[in-house]
Amino acid sequence: MFIEIEPDSAVPIYLQLAQQIMEGIARGELAPETPLPSVRAFAADLGMNMHTVNKAYHYLEEKKMIEIVPKKGVFIHANAIRSASTEEKARMEEELRPILAEALCLQLNREELAGMVEKMVREIREGSE
Amino acid sequence: MFIEIEPDSAVPIYLQLAQQIMEGIARGELAPETPLPSVRAFAADLGMNMHTVNKAYHYLEEKKMIEIVPKKGVFIHANAIRSASTEEKARMEEELRPILAEALCLQLNREELAGMVEKMVREIREGSE
DNA sequence: TATGCTGTTCTATTATTTATATAACAACTG
DNA sequence: CAGTTGTTATATAAATAATAGAACAGCATA
pLDDT by residue (tens digit) across B71-110?
A: 899 999 999 999 999 999 999 999 999 999 999 999 999 9
- Percent of chain B predicted with pLDDT > 70: 100
Amino acid whose CA is nearest the C1' of D6: B70
Contact A121 B102 (CB under 8 A): no
| Average of per-residue pLDDT values in chain B | 96
B129: pLDDT strictly greater than 80: no
- Cα separation, B112 vs B119, whole angstroms: 10
> With the C-alpha atoms ordered B112, B114, B119, B120, is the resulting torsion angle positive or negative?
positive
- Cα separation, A14 vs A100, whole angstroms: 26
B123: pLDDT strictly greater than 80: yes
- β-sheet bridge partners, residue B73: B69
Confidence of residue B70 (pLDDT cuts 50, 70, 90): confident
Confidence of residue B48 (pLDDT cuts 50, 70, 90): very high
Angle, nearest 10°, between helix axes B86-105 and A13-27? Answer: 60
Beta strand B66-69 with A66-69: parallel, antiparallel or unpaired?
unpaired
List, run by run, the mean pLDDT of 10-residue segments along chain A (129 residues). 93 98 97 97 97 98 96 95 98 98 97 97 90
pLDDT score at B128? 78
B101 at the A interface (CB within 8 A)? Answer: yes
pLDDT score at A128? 78
| Interfacial B residues in 23-62 facing A (CB < 8 Å) | 23, 25-27
A106 at the B interface (CB within 8 A)? Answer: yes
Residues A49-71 have pLDDT tens digits of 999 999 999 999 999 999 999 88
pLDDT score at A127? 84
Confidence of residue B19 (pLDDT cuts 50, 70, 90): very high
Q: What is the mean pLDDT of residues B26-32?
A: 97
The nt closest to B5 (CA vs C1′) is: C19
Q: Is the CB of B35 under 7 A from strand D?
A: no
User: Best of B34, B64, B120, B125 to disrupt the A interface by mutation (most A CBs within 10 Å)?
Assistant: B120
Contact A22 B84 (CB under 8 A): no
- Cα separation, B57 vs A18, whole angstroms: 31
Contact A124 B100 (CB under 8 A): yes
Nearest CA in chain A to B30: A105
Stated in angstroms, how far is B57 CA from C6 C1'? Answer: 48
pLDDT score at B22? 98
Q: Of B120, B24, B17, B96, whose CA–CA distance to A97 is shortest? A: B120
Half-sphere exposure of A26 toward its Cβ, with a 13 Å CA cutoff? 27
Half-sphere exposure of A66 toward its Cβ, with a 13 Å CA cutoff? 28
CA A117 to chain centroid, in Å, comes to 16
